[in-house]
Amino acid sequence: MQHFKPLTRTSPDQFALPRNPTLVAKPVSPTLRASRLLVRFNSLSSVSTLFSMPERRPFVRLPTDVYPVNYGLRLKPDLIDFTFEGKLEAAVEVTQGTNQIVMNCADIDIITASFVPEGGEEINATGFNYQNEDEKVTLCFPSILQKGSGSLKIDFVGELNDKMKGFYRSKYTTPSGENHYAAVTQFEATDARRAFPCWDEPAIKATFDITLIVPKDRIALSNMNVVDRKPYPEDHSLVEVKFATTPIMSSYLVAFVIGEYDFVESQSSDGVTVRVYTPVGKAEQGKFALEVATKTLPFYKDYFSVPYPLPKIDLIAIADFAAGAMENWGLVTYRETALLIDPKNSCASSRQWVALVVGHELAHQWFGNLVTMEWWTHLWLNEGFASWIEYLCVDHCFPEYDIWTQFVSADYTRALDLDALDNSHPIEVDVGHPSEVDEIFDAISYSKGASVIRMLHNYIGDEDFRKGMNAYLLKFQHKNASTEDLWECLEQASGKPIAAVMNSWTKQMGFPIIVVDQEQHGSDRVLKISQKKFCASGPRNGTYENCPSWMVPISICTSEGPSCTKMKVLLDQPETTVNVTNIAPDHWIKINPGTVGFYRIQYSSAMLESLLPGIRDLTLLPVDRLGLQNDLFSLARAGMISTVEVLKVMEAFVNEPNYTVWSDLSCNLGVLSSLLSHTDFHEDIQEFIRDLFTPIGMKLGWDSKTGEGHLDALLRGLVLGKLGKAGHKATLEEARRRFKEHVEGKQILPADLRSPVYLTVLKHGDSTTLDTMLKLHKQADMQEEKNRIERVLGAIPAPDLIQRVLNFALSEEVRPQDTVSVIGGVAGSSKQGRKAAWKFVKDNWEELHNRYQGGFLISRLIKLTVDGFAIDKMAAEVKSFFESHHAPAAERTVQQCCENILLNAAWLKRDAEDIHQYLLQRKAPPV
């Protein structure tokens, strides 16, 4: 599953160019090993009393005495009453005599159930015992079902719900302007049980024969190709659509869609039929995704040396969709914005986002669908792997995107930020009760998972990595596997201690900070390297003996070859010394070239001084310039260096040409700007931002030049948005002029300039600006344009207008899944907006929680709303509110937010005055 146009790592201070396709999701299961919630802040000893961990709910997996071999499933949805009728005839195997069958079942009413033993008489069930809390049903029989094969028959009814999970209804507007509904599915993690009674656990695989009875003017799709379509005898307005038998697969990957769609079609070079389904009249918007998909399937076939196992694959845009996309085998479902590209009205960042999401979901067709995790504990392997290989795939399809540098800013640094918290969790999490499963769809499973796989790939080397992957997929195809199974295959392929190395990264939370010092000995450089756990709240007292440690693959490069690794060592103890030969005294040494190892680095002053000129003269690679700055910023937040030192380093980026480096700088300045909104010198940091971004803004100008590419378009949008928001006079005037011409239809804004222009005019706008923007929103035909406007509306400054935007967020005008980004946009735009958004969430909690309950959107909403506060008492207020308004899905998110608020408050107390003095001194005329 791929999760929405992502959160930036900051509060949503920017207009959210897509960063990483990761979900910030439900928090993780409460009693995690390695997390005894040691909230030990240096300056805030009272913090440890702030959080209490809830008890885990008892949970037992389904019994194994009966298991399915094949599901024969007939469903007849009613798109007017929003109900459905179902008939299940499952071929099952009874492994030991029993008088009951226990299955998963939620929000379904069973009418009749019976069991027919092979060659025997039908036995009717005498009762259905629903365990609603555990989403199970026990079918009771009057006699023992004997060991052997049989057929389980169940008639049932259910509701096409409006919760964006299970079998649900999705509202869309037809070209003539009418509201219609599609019936669609979202089953991961545990919602197939809302569509039909089943054994809804990933290890209980079976084949599926699906038949849908649907209106004859609707398209019906499922995992497999249609084998028969005939009139339904009882009602001539309906047709019966039968699909081919699926391969053996897990229930969470089953899918069906009934609605009105157009499509574009192609064939991959290896003969797979690929279709992209779009809203009616928008087939052209499916062409880019079709191009990506037809390139991607052969790439994965070649990479894994395993062919795609189904005859077709459909990609379909769904109007109401909670996640970003879902990898159902052969029928991948997407948000409209993750699949549709309009050649005239889509910006470069949207094209990139679609390419990444398509790459992610198609990777799952092998890694997840063909070989599936045994239990949700291993979800990270599915998602972390797909989140890594989507970049490999996009790099193959679009080398001009420089996508691996973007990975570092989007996934890697974001995972480091979250994993430095005391309320993080290990990558591998014990999961039991269904309510806990969604909790692990977060940046640790996705972004940290992807980062450690990238580190592993680098450690093993591509050839052995591919050899190990092929062995894994062939050994476990159509079966289930665990993390250990993959390590074993990679270990055999590479001859390296993969399990020992990787267990230190997946089974304990956090990561190390690598502390480096050096001495010159003749023509050699001796490095002293040590590791300790990095904590967002600063260094902890304690000896090496009781500290966690990691097996850290460390690479070293020098100024002679910034892009070549001169040496590799595996740091498997607290400290070591490394001798680097033939280094002249005036040459620099850099640890972690390519920023591949998952750790922060603290250099000695002398080493850091020697590296800084490499930022200004661009001799350091872009990814290393980015990594160096990001590490320093993180050290400043943890109180290990002064924030002023980082501001000085940031000023060295004045010649920076690289989009991703600017994007990361912009992100960190957004965090700082948000922090300093709690002071009376907020305007001074805006001036710093204007000074830093003006030269690159002048160089780029407003209009694209001949020969520019994808990254130039991204950079221009980023820089103009940053300058406009910070109140750069010339940018503001030009944005207003262009906005006026756009609204009047004289000169339509290029898609890449819309976000920065909209943001700028709103930030410095009034009620007329807001009215105009809401009108543009109403007129927009593309969901991408609607989302673009929704994300920036919160920039409006006046309190009464902020309130209007918040009310708009819950109106019919905004799709349910997009309400979150409107409220988040308000919270991230100003101190005033943050207060208003938090009050709005509290006032409307019942409606919001009811809308998103049990889904990851509630966690995202909480994070976006409260993460930017920087006053101790706000942490207590947030904690108190969620103690009396339970959100089980967001428990860990709440804890992480409270921790972040306290970290912000400590940072402000520690550094605000120094920052203020530095910003004043910058303005002072030279003596």
Alpha-carbon distance of 704 to 777, in angstroms, equals 26
Which amino acid appears at position 241 of this protein?
Answer: V
| Burial class of residue 242 (count of CB atoms within 10 Å of its CB; 0-12, 13-18, 19+) | middle
Are the beta carbons of 419 and 510 closer than 8 angstroms?
yes
Q: What are phi and psi of 703, to 5 degrees?
A: -110, 145
In a domain, 578, yes or no: no
pLDDT range class, residue 3, cuts 50, 70, 90: low
* pLDDT of residue 916 exceeding 90: yes
Strand partners, 170: 182
Are the beta carbons of 100 and 70 closer than 8 angstroms?
no
Average pLDDT over residues 640-664: 95
The pLDDT tens digits for 105-158 are 999 999 999 999 998 999 999 999 998 888 999 999 999 999 999 999 999 999
The pLDDT tens digits for 804-821 are 999 999 999 999 989 999
Alpha-carbon distance of 432 to 802, in angstroms, equals 42
Alpha-carbon distance of 538 to 546, in angstroms, equals 17
Average pLDDT over residues 571-582: 93
Residue 764 among known ligand-binding residues: no
> Would you mind telling me the total number of residues written for the chain in this entry?
927
Alpha-carbon distance of 628 to 608, in angstroms, equals 9
Residue 201 among known ligand-binding residues: no
In a domain, 306, yes or no: no
* pLDDT of residue 890 exceeding 90: no
Comparing 792 with 889, which gets the higher pLDDT? 792
Structure tokens at 155: 């008639």
Smallest CA-to-CA distance from 290 within 237, 332, 238, 321 is with 332
Distances (CA, A) of 586 to 516, 520, 653: 17, 10, 22
Q: Strands 552-558, 567-571: parallel, antiparallel or unpaired by DSSP?
A: antiparallel
pLDDT at position 28, please?
Answer: 30
Alpha-carbon distance of 103 to 759, in angstroms, equals 51
Alpha-carbon distance of 371 to 479, in angstroms, equals 6
Question: CATH number, domain at 429?
Answer: 1.10.390.10
Smallest CA-to-CA distance from 660 within 611, 622, 716 is with 622
Question: Sheet holding 98-104: strands in order across?
Answer: 98-104, 136-145, 127-131
* Domain finish residue from 259, 289, 310: 259
In a domain, 648, yes or no: no
Are the beta carbons of 352 and 399 closer than 8 angstroms?
no
Residue 284 among known ligand-binding residues: no
In a domain, 590, yes or no: no
Q: How many CB atoms lie within 10 A of CB 241?
A: 24
In a domain, 295, yes or no: no
- HSE, side-chain direction, 13 A CA sphere, residue 4: 22
Q: Which residues, 6 or more positions from 905, have their beta carbon under 8 angstroms from its beta carbon?
A: 870, 871, 872, 875
pLDDT range class, residue 900, cuts 50, 70, 90: very high
Mean pLDDT across the chain = 90
DSSP-derived letter for residue 615 is: H
Same structural domain for residues 92 and 236?
A: yes
Strand partners, 222: 256
At how many degrees (to 10) do helices 767-779 and 799-809 cross? Answer: 20
* pLDDT of residue 41 exceeding 50: no
pLDDT at position 42, please?
Answer: 33
Alpha-carbon distance of 228 to 211, in angstroms, equals 9
pLDDT range class, residue 434, cuts 50, 70, 90: low
Which amino acid appears at position 380 of this protein?
Answer: W
Alpha-carbon distance of 683 to 465, in angstroms, equals 51
In a domain, 739, yes or no: no
The pLDDT tens digits for 300-327 are 999 999 999 999 999 999 998 888 899 9
Distances (CA, A) of 662 to 32, 576, 692: 37, 35, 10
Catalytic residues: 361
* pLDDT of residue 427 exceeding 80: yes
Which residue range(s) make up the domain with 233?
A: 62-259
Question: Given its phi and psi angles, is residue 166 left (phi above 0), alpha (psi -120 to 50 degrees) or beta?
Answer: left
Structure tokens at 898: 């409270």
* pLDDT of residue 296 exceeding 70: yes
DSSP string, 250-266: -GGG--EEEE--EEEEE
* pLDDT of residue 43 exceeding 80: no
The pLDDT tens digits for 738-793 are 999 999 999 999 999 999 999 999 999 999 999 999 999 999 999 999 999 999 99
Question: CATH number, domain at 804?
Answer: 1.25.50.20
Alpha-carbon distance of 28 to 439, in angstroms, equals 4
* Domain finish residue from 239, 259, 279: 259
Question: CATH number, domain at 221?
Answer: 2.60.40.1730
pLDDT at position 111, please?
Answer: 96
pLDDT range class, residue 37, cuts 50, 70, 90: very low
Per-residue b or e along 710-747, where b marks 16 or more CB atoms closer than 10 Å to that residue's CB? bbbbbbbbbbbbbbbbbbbeebbebbbebbeebeeeee
Q: Which residues, 6 or more positions from 599, have their beta carbon under 8 angstroms from its beta carbon?
A: 511, 512, 513, 514, 531, 534, 550, 552, 592
In a domain, 6, yes or no: no
Alpha-carbon distance of 790 to 609, in angstroms, equals 44
* Domain finish residue from 199, 233, 259: 259
What is the pTM (predicted TM-score) of this model?
A: 0.90
Alpha-carbon distance of 101 to 122, in angstroms, equals 15
Q: Which residues, 6 or more positions from 157, have their beta carbon under 8 angstroms from its beta carbon?
A: 83, 84, 85, 86, 108, 109, 111
The pLDDT tens digits for 671-725 are 999 999 999 999 999 999 999 999 999 999 999 999 999 999 999 999 999 999 9
In a domain, 108, yes or no: yes
State the total domains in the chain.
3
* pLDDT of residue 859 exceeding 60: yes
The pLDDT tens digits for 591-644 are 999 999 999 999 999 999 999 999 999 999 999 999 999 999 999 999 999 999
Smallest CA-to-CA distance from 548 within 73, 36, 6 is with 36
